[in-house]
A = this chain, B = another copy of it.
Amino acid sequence: MAGNSFGKLFKITTWGESHGKALGVIIDGCPPMLDLSEEDIQAELDKRAPGNSEVTSPRKEPDRVEILSGVFEGKTTGAPISLIIKNIDVDSSKYEKIRDIFRPGHADYTYFVKYGIRDHRGGGRSSGRETVGRVAAGAVAKKILRMRGINITGYTKQIGDITASVIDLNEIEKNDVRCPDKNTAHKMIEKIKEVRKSGDSIGGIVEIIASGVPPGLGEPVFDKLNADIAKALMSIGAVKGVEIGAGFKSALLLGSQNNDEMYIKACGERSESSEKVKFKTNNSGGILGGISNGDDIVVRIAVKPTASISKLQRSVDIHGKEREIRVEGRHDPCICPRIVPVAEAMMAVVIADHLLLNIS
C-alpha cells in the first residue's frame, strides 16, 4: 500500500493510468524561488514521448504538461507543485480481446492476484506510460541540479549484442536510439527494425552519468546514495539489473586493480583541500561507502526486451484456463531510447533529494 511516493525531502508522488483521463505528479519539497515554467518541463517530456521515430511506438501523445500549483509569478513558492498531463490518444479497443488474458512478461497476472481487479486497458497503472510523471518531476530536479553545476546524461550503450564503442555525448540526441556512437547507432536501428518486422522485441543496456556531484552525498548505512539510486532505477518497469562503476566486472578484479588510488591535483588558489583530491581511476563509479566522492557517478541498467510482442505466446486467463495470445496495440520494439529520459529523471530525483538531505 501507498508505494507511489519517492524521496524524503524532495518527494515525488505519481498517479495515473495508461488509458485513464490523465497522469501526473506532485513534487513536494522543491526549494522556493526557483524559476520554473511549463516549457522547462515540456522539453524533458518531449524526449520521452512516443511517436517520435521509426523505432518507437506510434501512439501519438502530445504529453502537454500543465502546472496547477506551487508556482507564482514564474517562481516556485515552496508549496507542492502539481503537474498534470492529459491523455489524448487513448484507444482501448485493441485491449478488448485480451480483457481476461494475462500477457506474458507483463504485470497483468501479479496485479490481478494482488488487487483482485483488472484494468486491462493498456496495462493500467503498470504501463510504461506511468513514467510520464517521473520525467516531469525529473525535469524540475534537473533544474535544481544544473544550478549547482550537476548534469545528468543517459544514453543507450548496448542493444542486443551491439555495443557503443565511442562515448560522444553530442551524438546522443542526433539518432533515434540515443546512442553516443554514430556508427553503432546505425547498426542498432537496423537491428531494431529487423526485430520489429519479425513481431519480436529486444533488450539493451542504458548508461547514466552524473557529473559535477559534490562529495558528501549519501546517508549510510541504508540510505546510501548507491542504494537509493539502485531502488530508483530498479523501480522503472523494464529494468532487471543495476550496476555502479565497475559493477559486475568487479567480480573478476583483484583489489589492487579495483581500488581507485588518490592523488592531489594542483588547483587555483581559491580551492579548499577537499576539492583537490582526485582519483586515478573510477571503478567505484563515484561512490565510496555509500557517499559520493566527487568523481562522476556512473550507472548502468539492464533493460529487458519489451514484453508486448505480436508473436504467438501461450498464457492463461483470469478463469484459470490456458490460452494463446498475440499482443497487438502500439508498442516499442526496444524500449532503451525511451527509458533514457526516465532513467535520467530518476537519477536527478535521487541526487536532488540527497543534496537536500546533506545540507540539513
Residues of the B chain whose Cβ atoms lie less than 8 Å from the Cβ of A220: 3-4, 107, 125-126
Chain A interface size band reads: 35 or more
Cross-chain contact A311 with B13 (CB below 8 angstroms): no
CB-CB under 8 A for A105 and B260, given A204-B251, A246-B240, A305-B253: yes
Complex CA–CA separation, A3 to B16 (angstroms): 22
Query: A254: which of B114, B200, B240 is its contact (CB, 8 Å)?
Result: B200
Q: Is the interface of A mostly helix, strand, loop or mixed?
A: mixed
Complex CA–CA separation, A359 to B188 (angstroms): 45
Cross-chain contact A69 with B126 (CB below 8 angstroms): no
Query: A75: which of B14, B117, B255, B256 is its contact (CB, 8 Å)?
Result: B117
Query: A69: which of B17, B82, B259, B294 is its contact (CB, 8 Å)?
Result: B17
Cross-chain contact B3 with A263 (CB below 8 angstroms): no
Residues of A28-79 at the interface with B, using a CB-CB cut-off of 8 Å, are: 28-29, 31-33, 66, 68-70, 72, 75, 77-79
Q: Mark A82-110, 1 if CB is under 8 A from B, else 0.
A: 10100000000000000000101111011
Residues of the B chain whose Cβ atoms lie less than 8 Å from the Cβ of A110: 215-216, 218, 287-293
CB-CB under 8 A for A240 and B247, given A109-B262, A253-B203: yes
Residues of the B chain whose Cβ atoms lie less than 8 Å from the Cβ of A305: 250, 253-255, 257-258
In the A-B complex, list the 10 residue pairs whose CB atoms are closest, starting with the nearest: A107-B289, A3-B219, A241-B243, A3-B223, A2-B29, A201-B255, A360-B360, A105-B259, A110-B291, A231-B231
